[in-house]
Amino acid sequence: MKLELGFPKRKLILKLYLIIILLAFIYFNAFSFWIPTNGPEGGEIRSILINKDTIFAGSFSNGLYYSSNKGKEWKAIAFENNRINQIKFFKNRLFVGIGTKEDTGGLFVSTNNGITWEIILKESVITFDIFNNILIACTYSNKMLISYNLGKSWYNFNFPGGLVYSILITENNIIVGTEANGIFVSSDLGVTWEQRNNGLNCLIIWCIAQKDTTWYIGTGGGGIFSTSNNGETWIAKNSGILHPYVLSILFIDTLVFAGTVGGGLYISLNKGNFWFKTNLSYESVMCLATEGNNLYVGTQGSGIYFSSDYGITWRELNRGIICSEILCLASKGDTLFAGTNGGGLHISYDFGKSWYRTAYRIRNNYVKTIAFKDSTIYVGTLGGGFYLTTDNGENWKQSYLKTYEINVIFPYNDLLFIGTNHNGLFILDFDGDSLLFNYFKGETITGICNYNDKIFIASKSNGISIWEFPYQIPSKITLQNYSVTSLTSNIFGILAGTDDGDLFLSTDSGNSWKIIASNNFGSVVSIKSYKHKIIASWETKNNNNWIIASFDSGKTWGVRTKGLENKRVASFTFTDSLIFVGTFGFGVYKSSTDTIFSSKLEKNTSEIVDFEVFPNPVAGDFLFIKIHDVNFKSNDLILVNILGIQYHFKIDSNYDEIFVGHLPKGINAIIFRNITKLFIKQ
């Protein structure tokens, strides 16, 4: 029997459908706790493409940017929150490869310069190349696929070399650089492959380039090699190169440029027989592009540099590009300091409206920690020790520890406590010139604080050591079985976060501890506290974050993630009325302390909850729900399908699965306590 719906029934369904659409609109436009500041500008740029008057730049974390005025200004146009691995242009088509090992990406194409996009391959693409309508894509799942019609249909190669980092298609050959097996060459469009590594001392191949009949490769540790006989033999081209990790190679007429990890950009005047450093000396150069004699350089953390004189002079072209990775934040009065991953130190004097890069004399761009003592500013780096300035950054002096990775600097009285990666704790004099003590050799120190005239030292492998004057040996070790990832103190006690996701509080100088918050689906990344206010962030197992705040010393909590759901958090800092958060790949965000620590929002915290549903869209029979609630109790969940029919489920744990195989295709909703979330059933 065929069932026909009468007009009232259809009208009711349409009304319910519109209600669900309205719920979706409300959800996606709901109040956010956090809003972005205007920087710091820059970040990691993986690929640059110049197409006539338009330049495209692919970022590591925040999608695709374009500039219509030669890089003076940039706008984000597509793929927000995604990693762009490569960009190419062919026959009026713009191709973009996206993805990571963990996430589903794809190969996309646009025929209108990036206004609209079509996905032509649903795989996370590391690298690809195009030649004479032949398109080859290499994925994170160790696949190599070929298309003879620019992505309309695909065929899988039987490639024997494993994960591919680089590929070049020439008229007669396909040259492939792999993660660990060197170079492979095919002269019959991938039917057969030959491994050609004769002369190579490193089999990690990061880039491939061609000049006339000569191939050049950049390796992950062996420098640069070239061949003039299709890879039968390779010759090292490393004279003058001090940094053997080579990410990019580019030719301008008879000049060869090579971008390295941590060593900036090199230039050769004689086909790579000898190399000179350009004046871009300390960056990690990810990609290169040229327009005539104009050279564009994409870096790991400093965004884009430009030179019109072959690398003698440089200027940054980052206006509008905000994909910086913030490793640390600090404030001194109303002045904000942001340490970045590869982009150096940035300062804002107007609460994040504008940012200025400073401290160019610090020869390490990976700023992990910032500390203050009176008029002295300390900056700790990853691999360059720490620097200090006493004249507001006009001049910087490098400390005794010149090659160490510094996690934390803690000035106390006339001493400096320095926590490092894998080299333990150092105690130096106030000026950083003389070493007094070195403890916990081989350990990673993650936090240092003081409370009641005692010093507390947190480590990844040995809990928290408690020190008293005169700092000869620790008087006690507490939380010994925990990997402590974050540590701070304030007027009411000591706060410690662990790799297991527990947030501890001690009010008796570390003699006893109690858990005041927990999220076992992640680890504590950062804790910041002021008087009785606490804010803490977790990195969850799906690489997202969870932020909670308390205005009463951790007795009650509220989730404060909204606005930063898909953005990993590194650190917090306070001014009088604002709180700032540094993210991995999206710059600095801010909120008011009244908003984050509102007592009105904190009441009845058992009703304040955040949760995730995934996958979304869902094509299978099960949807997973993950609940973020520090006061979790068993509760009911309501599932509402597109027809308005409700299904009730009992949730007894923070992580559960829900059968959705019976649902019709389209938009459905889950209601849990006072929050509604939408998902699509395919």
Which overall architecture, per CATH, does domain 7-30+607-681 show?
A: Sandwich (2.60)
- Find the angle CA(198)-CA(204)-CA(207) to the nearest 5 degrees: 95
Question: In this model, does residue 20 exceed pLDDT 50?
Answer: no
The residue whose two tokens read 């039917």 is: 191
Question: In this model, does residue 192 exceed pLDDT 80?
Answer: yes
| Reported pTM | 0.80
The amino acid sitting at 372 is: F
Average pLDDT over residues 376-391: 92
DSSP notation for 66-101: EESSTTSS-EEEE-TT--EEEEEEETTEEEEEE--S
Looking at residue 474, what is its pLDDT? 65
8 A C-beta contact, residue 438 and residue 445 = no
Looking at residue 421, what is its pLDDT? 93
Q: Which residue has the higher pLDDT, 454 or 472?
A: 454
Looking at residue 249, what is its pLDDT? 96
Q: Positive or negative CA dihedral for 229, 234, 237, 241? A: positive
Looking at residue 258, what is its pLDDT? 97
User: What confidence category does residue 448 fall into, taking pLDDT thresholds of 50, 70 and 90?
Assistant: very high
User: What confidence category does residue 522 fall into, taking pLDDT thresholds of 50, 70 and 90?
Assistant: confident
Looking at residue 565, what is its pLDDT? 81
Same CATH topology for 7-30+607-681 and 322-460+482-504+516-605: the answer is no
113: nearest Cα among 59, 62, 44, 64: 64
Q: Which residue has the higher pLDDT, 519 or 365?
A: 365
8 A C-beta contact, residue 602 and residue 557 = yes
Looking at residue 609, what is its pLDDT? 53
Looking at residue 674, what is its pLDDT? 58
Looking at residue 86, what is its pLDDT? 95
314: nearest Cα among 338, 278, 290, 346: 278
Looking at residue 567, what is its pLDDT? 87
24: nearest Cα among 680, 678, 470: 678
8 A C-beta contact, residue 457 and residue 417 = yes
Question: In this model, does residue 14 exceed pLDDT 50?
Answer: no
User: What confidence category does residue 472 fall into, taking pLDDT thresholds of 50, 70 and 90?
Assistant: low
Q: Positive or negative CA dihedral for 424, 330, 372, 385? A: positive
The amino acid sitting at 338 is: A
pLDDT in tens, 97-136: 998 887 778 999 999 989 999 999 999 999 999 998 899 9
Q: Is 596 helix (H, G, I), strand (E, B) or coil?
A: helix
pLDDT in tens, 327-371: 999 998 889 999 999 999 999 999 999 999 988 888 889 999 999
Question: In this model, does residue 11 exceed pLDDT 70?
Answer: no
Q: How many residues does the chain have?
A: 682
Looking at residue 600, what is its pLDDT? 53
Lowest-pLDDT choice from 67-76, 237-246, 545-554: 545-554
Q: Is 220 helix (H, G, I), strand (E, B) or coil?
A: strand
Q: Which residue has the higher pLDDT, 27 or 244?
A: 244
DSSP notation for 43-74: E-EEEEEEETTEEEEEESSS-EEEESSTTSS-
User: What confidence category does residue 52 fall into, taking pLDDT thresholds of 50, 70 and 90?
Assistant: confident
Lowest-pLDDT choice from 307-321, 443-457, 639-653: 639-653
Looking at residue 469, what is its pLDDT? 66
pLDDT in tens, 646-673: 777 777 666 777 888 777 777 777 877 6
List the chain domain ranges.
Answer: 7-30+607-681, 322-460+482-504+516-605
Task: Write out the two tokens for 96.
Answer: 């973009």
Looking at residue 440, what is its pLDDT? 87
The residue whose two tokens read 């900056």 is: 379
Question: In this model, does residue 601 exceed pLDDT 80?
Answer: no
Query: In the CATH scheme, what is the homologous superfamily, with its name and number, of domain 322-460+482-504+516-605?
Result: YVTN repeat-like/Quinoprotein amine dehydrogenase (2.130.10.10)
